[in-house]
Amino acid sequence: MKHQQVNGCGIDSMSQVFLDLGYEVRDELRFPAKKVRALWFSPPKHLLDMEGSEADGPLPRIFISELIVNELSLAAQVLQLFSMRESKPPLDNHKDH
């Protein structure tokens, strides 16, 4: 299911930065009662043996979550859209690199 993004601020746009750096998606987590979807990423495998293991190595695990706006009540959707109306997409220029 494709989720509505607010001004490009979604899990897919944020994830791409880490995918480009070699991170790998390890799991997708869903919290239906909270209307939240999340992904966690592990660092690139070729960097895991640098002074530590995956859990405590030089690069962190990344956890990105998003609020699934289109599953919220109409009132909550309006409030969320209103609060985000002035924001710009994160890392908007990233696609040019």
Which pLDDT tens digit goes with each residue over 13-35?
889 989 998 999 999 999 999 98
Whether residue 90 has pLDDT greater than 60 = no
54 versus 12: which is more confidently predicted?
A: 12
Could you tell me if 65 and 11 are in contact, meaning their C-beta atoms sit under 8 angstroms apart? Answer: yes
Of 6, 65, 62, 69, nearest to 30 (Cα)?
65
Q: Which two tokens stand for residue 3?
A: 């989720």
pLDDT given at position 80: 74
Could you tell me if 17 and 94 are in contact, meaning their C-beta atoms sit under 8 angstroms apart? Answer: yes
Return d(Cα 37, Cα 64) in angstroms, integer.
9
**pTM over the 0.85 mark:** no
> What pLDDT digit, counting tens, does each position of 60-88 carry?
889 999 888 888 888 887 887 777 666 66
